[in-house]
Structure 1
Amino acid sequence: MIFDKVRKLDVVFDSPEADSAPVFSSGDVVSGKVLLELSAECRLQSLKLHAEGFAKVHWTESRSAGSSTAYTQNYSDEVEYLNHREALLQADNGGITVLQAGKHEYPFSFQLPEETLVTSFEGKYGSIRYWVKVKLHRPWAPVKKIKKEFTVIEPIDINTPALLASQAGTKDKMARVWYRNSGQVSVTAKIDRKGYTPGEVIPVFAEFDNATSRSVVPKAYVTQTQTFIARGTMKQKRSVVATLSGDVVGARCRETWHGRAIKIPPVGPSIIQCRIIKVDYALRVCVNVPGTSKLCLELPLVMGTIPLHPFGSRTSSVSSQYGMNLEWLRMTIPEQPEPPPDYSTVVSGDVVEQDARPLPAEEDFAGMLGRPFSAYIQEFRLRPPPVYSEVDPNPQPSMRPRCMTC
């Protein structure tokens, strides 16, 4: 049995929190260290690091070529997003490096590409992964390897005009019984915006008009659709991540949802920038129509990572923000102006009593003129205003228009 002198080979990423795995996005610097522990003196050729990132898809389909012959068709494709190599330890001219027994650390650091990467993802027919692989080369010994994955999440800010726009639609279908029309069922639904983040609640506004002779039950779903593309062929996997059931809508009746809440569970963000893997979300408002297939109205959703800003979009244009502010003003300005406050509510009682006190009778007009002029200003400055009234106390006389023929 060959004694292995390498006791430990590990990769540790720098992370603000020791207990949580680091998360990166495009343009970030990935740093850490490679830990090497030797039980005895060891001769090494090199210690190399290779950072990679790929989106890969693969699935198999069986196809029939006749009554008794069948063959299998494989579909696969990949897209490279990261490829970085560096040597952490390597002697000049391909020589040998001797390391003593004990622990050794080799720091590393590299920057992710500035162009937009794709969020890490694990699906049934494909994945998007990023990892760091370290290889230790020794003379007359097998290569020792270790691979450590890290997560990339590309931010999706829902505070943009496109994702803040409301989504609405209408759909109807005719129910049939024994090849005869028995009435029509229609669905109208609306949501406040297109972009949401996990944990938020979507208020659903909908109206269900059941003109058939049978009762129907409306439901709403938040669905996730994973799409895998290879060689011009597409493979999809759809799953329901949240459900909302409504009340029974009787025959010839109408039901209205005034903001029924459906909560988004912890799910991954939308993936829309990868050529071979896409992850889409939608709100489906459905009704089982008797005698025909299910009636479903689908409103697209985008699952983001940056939640809604309290003051709206930070990236929207000035014109769109100005228009939004005007709408806000139109909704909040009252139709009738409020009357001004009463004089007694803004002036203390002592001042009012002092102003209402009559002047001494013995002061004649000549004596008053001898007083300083500022005294008159002080007297009239705190006089109470007239009583508020919406009727003009001094109306202007109406003038008849001049006749041009006179």
Structure 2
Amino acid sequence: MLDKTIKNFNINFNALNANNTFSSGDLLTGQISFDLSKATKIRSIKMCLAGKADVHWTSGSKKNKRHYYAKIDFFNLTSMILQEGAVGGPANFPPGRHVYPFTCQIPQGDFPSSFHGPHGQIAYNLTVGIDRPWRMSKEFVTELNMVHHIDCNQPELMSPLSGSNSMNVCSLSCVSGLITMRGSVEKKGFKCGETITINCEFANGSSRTVIPKAKLKQKQLYFTREGAQRRLIVKNLVSVAGLPLSAHTSDFQSDLMLTIPAESSLTISNCSILRVEYEIELTLCPRASPNMAVLFPIILCDIHSIPHGKDLLYPGCHEFPFNFQFPLQEMPSSFTGSVGKVVYLLETKLSRSMRLSTKDTTKIPFVTKPCDMSEDLMIPQHNSKNKKMHMFNSGTVAMDVKIEKSGFFPGEGLKISAYIQNNSSRQIKPKYCIYRKHSFFARGKRRLDTKDLLKEVGEPIPPSASVTVNRVITIPPDMEPSILNCEILKVEYRLRVYLDIKYDSDPQIKFPITILQVYQSSAVPVNRPATSTGYEFGAFGYQNPTPWGAFSTPQPFEPPPSYEDHVGYPSLMDFSSKK
């Protein structure tokens, strides 16, 4: 079971404020972590950031029951943290703790605040999915507390509210007297946990005692997409009662205090299928008579000062910073060949109402992260070849060649040592060539493109002579690195050592070499493992000479290391990756 293999999965965010809330345009950083109880193959780790609103309610019962629902998607962004890609198989994760940082940016937009009600919700979720071979994909979901900031510069929010009402109280067929009240609050916009002061003035001309009361009411309105149907829920959040007002009392002033619950939802007025409104109801309650009320609509918000016209761009140059993170996986470097390429693109889209979207794309020159020389690349290579002359020549020639390793950096010297026996009747010349191989694969077929990059010629070797030749060939500094981690194309290099014989075919030996990505600090790493310097050659004529060095069996791709000790995270967003 997946739950027994993957344990203690956590998605942690770096808080931007004391309330741990987020809003549109915020940069979200954090890390995902999990424990593996055993070695596990994982195809991909995908992260999805989505915002949506949905409502649903029913009316009637049994056979006459009807369902009403609506849904709006605000955004849906996907990013690959780790993906089975060019290496051609799932990554093999060792048991233990694994930590991966992430960075993403919440889109700019007029998004409503998070809300959960009995008939609908507005939710912003970050979902991380882990896909394993032959297993159901497992998803872990955490919710963001999104807040729609209100511009506190609006005069409407800072203006006081006031209202009045009056009523004649009747006793049987006689008029008992006139009751009047006037109330005011200092402003319209409030924050959760804030105390509202209601200034009240009463006049009780009746013969009855009246009691002033105040309550904070929440109204939840749910709509279908067309707005044809709606459902209203009214909740009394908090109430307070003042001192009783005796009969025939005039010019009585009192202040009622209402404290807004700290966990209250914010006002939502920017969603077409769900609205949340608040109002203060000030009432006078005469005995044996209907209540008299004054209503004050208020806005409950997380007040934040923002410039006017946030979504309106004025003439001139506009710049918008962005961040994104490349997936933490082994990906090939950018490459362009005759019939194939590896390209990383960044696309930007500008959307306007009633207009066609404008897109712009730019290429990102991606380079595989440089790595230290592996043990496999430090193993020396050795091979031998002998040939019997034909036609216009007689005798035999033989060579035994070795190179110190198979991994090289651009600008580095490639050392070749060859023992050559010329037992023929002709003069021969040793020659050296580094050539490139571009291989393209599709539908079981391969397209090969080769090109000689560098050629060098050694000193002639006369007939009946044996010579040990040492040669150093400098790798061109502008040579592009090898690409061996892509399923549909490869960039490979070979060293060809051959003997130039007139009027006969040339015996040759080929060695595969790997060109590594250079470090930015220097063209050739300073601290490299030492290589063997002694050269010992065996006898010629072996059909299968004992190798002086050979490539070991390729090991499975190792997952990226733990990043839990990192303080700064690489910048990201977007969230699609290309192989």
Q: TM-score range by the shorter chain?
A: 0.5 to 0.7
Q: CA deviation at 1:234?
A: 2.2
1:247 is matched with which residue: 243, 248, 265?
Answer: 243
Structure 1: segments with no counterpart, 5+ residues: 64-68, 308-312, 317-406
More helix by share: 1
Note if contact 1:23-1:152 (Cα within 8 Å) is conserved in structure 2: yes
What are the within-5 Å matches in structure 2 for residues 109-148 of structure 1? 109-148=103-142
SS of 1:152's partner is coil
Q: Which moved more, 1:286-295 or 1:120-129?
A: 286-295
Q: In 2, Cα distance between the equivalents of 1:246 and 1:21?
A: 34
- Matched with 1:273 is 270
1:186 is matched with which residue: 160, 180, 184?
Answer: 180
Q: In 1, Cα distance between the equivalents of 2:4 and 2:258?
A: 57
2:281 is matched with which residue: 269, 281, 284?
Answer: 284
Could you say if the C-alpha distance between residues 221 and 2 of structure 1 is closer, same or farther in structure 2, counting changes exceeding 3 Å? closer
Q: In 2, Cα distance between the equivalents of 1:30 and 1:12?
A: 10
- Matched with 1:170 is 164
Q: In 2, Cα distance between the equivalents of 1:285 and 1:291?
A: 18
SS of 1:286's partner is strand
Q: CA deviation at 1:37?
A: 2.5
Could you say if the C-alpha distance between residues 179 and 30 of structure 1 is closer, same or farther in structure 2, counting changes exceeding 3 Å? farther
The residue identity in structure 2 corresponding to 1:47 is I
Pair 1:86 & 2:82 matched? no
Q: Which moved more, 1:214-223 or 1:98-107?
A: 98-107
Q: Give the TM-score, by structure 1 length.
A: 0.67
The residue identity in structure 2 corresponding to 1:72 is K
The residue identity in structure 2 corresponding to 1:138 is R
Q: CA deviation at 1:28?
A: 0.3
Q: CA deviation at 1:286?
A: 0.2
The residue identity in structure 1 corresponding to 2:97 is K
- Matched with 1:395 is none
Could you say if the C-alpha distance between residues 255 and 245 of structure 1 is closer, same or farther in structure 2, counting changes exceeding 3 Å? farther
Q: In 1, Cα distance between the equivalents of 2:117 and 2:2?
A: 41
SS of 2:140's partner is strand
Note if contact 1:220-1:284 (Cα within 8 Å) is conserved in structure 2: yes
- Matched with 1:198 is 192
The residue identity in structure 1 corresponding to 2:40 is C
Note if contact 1:21-1:150 (Cα within 8 Å) is conserved in structure 2: no
- Matched with 1:332 is none
The residue identity in structure 1 corresponding to 2:232 is Q
Q: Give the TM-score, by structure 2 length.
A: 0.48
1:76 is matched with which residue: 69, 72, 77?
Answer: 69
Could you say if the C-alpha distance between residues 228 and 314 of structure 1 is closer, same or farther in structure 2, counting changes exceeding 3 Å? closer
Note if contact 1:160-1:315 (Cα within 8 Å) is conserved in structure 2: no
SS of 2:107's partner is coil
Q: In 2, Cα distance between the equivalents of 1:219 and 1:60?
A: 35
- Matched with 1:6 is 6
Note if contact 1:158-1:196 (Cα within 8 Å) is conserved in structure 2: no
Pair 1:31 & 2:29 matched? yes
Q: In 1, Cα distance between the equivalents of 2:189 and 2:6?
A: 51
SS of 1:163's partner is helix
Residues 2-24 of structure 1, C-alpha deviations (whole Å, 9 max, x = no match):
9953344332222368xx77321
Could you say if the C-alpha distance between residues 52 and 251 of structure 1 is closer, same or farther in structure 2, counting changes exceeding 3 Å? same
Structure 2: segments with no counterpart, 5+ residues: 309-579
Note if contact 1:171-1:297 (Cα within 8 Å) is conserved in structure 2: yes
What are the within-5 Å matches in structure 2 for residues 238-387 of structure 1? 238-266=234-262, 267-306=264-303
The residue identity in structure 1 corresponding to 2:250 is R
Note if contact 2:43-2:83 (Cα within 8 Å) is conserved in structure 1: yes
Q: CA deviation at 1:112?
A: 0.8
Q: In 1, Cα distance between the equivalents of 2:10 and 2:258?
A: 44
Note if contact 1:174-1:182 (Cα within 8 Å) is conserved in structure 2: yes
Could you say if the C-alpha distance between residues 305 and 46 of structure 1 is closer, same or farther in structure 2, counting changes exceeding 3 Å? same
Could you say if the C-alpha distance between residues 32 and 60 of structure 1 is closer, same or farther in structure 2, counting changes exceeding 3 Å? same
Q: In 2, Cα distance between the equivalents of 1:48 and 1:2?
A: 16
SS of 2:156's partner is helix
The residue identity in structure 1 corresponding to 2:64 is Y
Could you say if the C-alpha distance between residues 157 and 8 of structure 1 is closer, same or farther in structure 2, counting changes exceeding 3 Å? same
Q: CA deviation at 1:229?
A: 1.9
- Matched with 1:310 is none
- Matched with 1:48 is 46
Q: In 1, Cα distance between the equivalents of 2:2 and 2:296?
A: 64
What are the within-5 Å matches in structure 2 for residues 217-236 of structure 1? 217-230=211-224, 231-236=227-232
Q: CA deviation at 1:70?
A: 5.2
Residues 282-318 of structure 1, C-alpha deviations (whole Å, 9 max, x = no match):
22110124454211110111123238xxxxx9979xx
Could you say if the C-alpha distance between residues 199 and 45 of structure 1 is closer, same or farther in structure 2, counting changes exceeding 3 Å? closer
Note if contact 1:160-1:314 (Cα within 8 Å) is conserved in structure 2: no
Note if contact 1:185-1:289 (Cα within 8 Å) is conserved in structure 2: no
The residue identity in structure 2 corresponding to 1:295 is M
Q: In 2, Cα distance between the equivalents of 1:16 and 1:172?
A: 49
Could you say if the C-alpha distance between residues 179 and 50 of structure 1 is closer, same or farther in structure 2, counting changes exceeding 3 Å? farther
Could you say if the C-alpha distance between residues 242 and 256 of structure 1 is closer, same or farther in structure 2, counting changes exceeding 3 Å? farther
Q: CA deviation at 1:162?
A: 0.8
Q: In 2, Cα distance between the equivalents of 1:222 and 1:158?
A: 22
SS of 2:64's partner is strand
Q: Which moved more, 1:77-86 or 1:288-297?
A: 288-297
Could you say if the C-alpha distance between residues 148 and 213 of structure 1 is closer, same or farther in structure 2, counting changes exceeding 3 Å? same
Residues 91-114 of structure 1, C-alpha deviations (whole Å, 9 max, x = no match):
226742222223222322211111
Q: In 1, Cα distance between the equivalents of 2:19 and 2:257?
A: 33
Q: CA deviation at 1:156?
A: 2.5
The residue identity in structure 2 corresponding to 1:213 is S
Q: In 2, Cα distance between the equivalents of 1:252 and 1:135?
A: 71
What percent of counterpart residues are identical? Answer: 26
SS of 1:15's partner is coil
Note if contact 1:157-1:304 (Cα within 8 Å) is conserved in structure 2: no
Could you say if the C-alpha distance between residues 5 and 246 of structure 1 is closer, same or farther in structure 2, counting changes exceeding 3 Å? closer
Residues 155-209 of structure 1, C-alpha deviations (whole Å, 9 max, x = no match):
2344531111111111123334446544332221112211222333323222222
Residues 105-138 of structure 1, C-alpha deviations (whole Å, 9 max, x = no match):
2322211111122111122222211111111111
Could you say if the C-alpha distance between residues 107 and 314 of structure 1 is closer, same or farther in structure 2, counting changes exceeding 3 Å? closer
Number of positions where the alignment pairs a residue of Structure 1 with one of Structure 2: 304
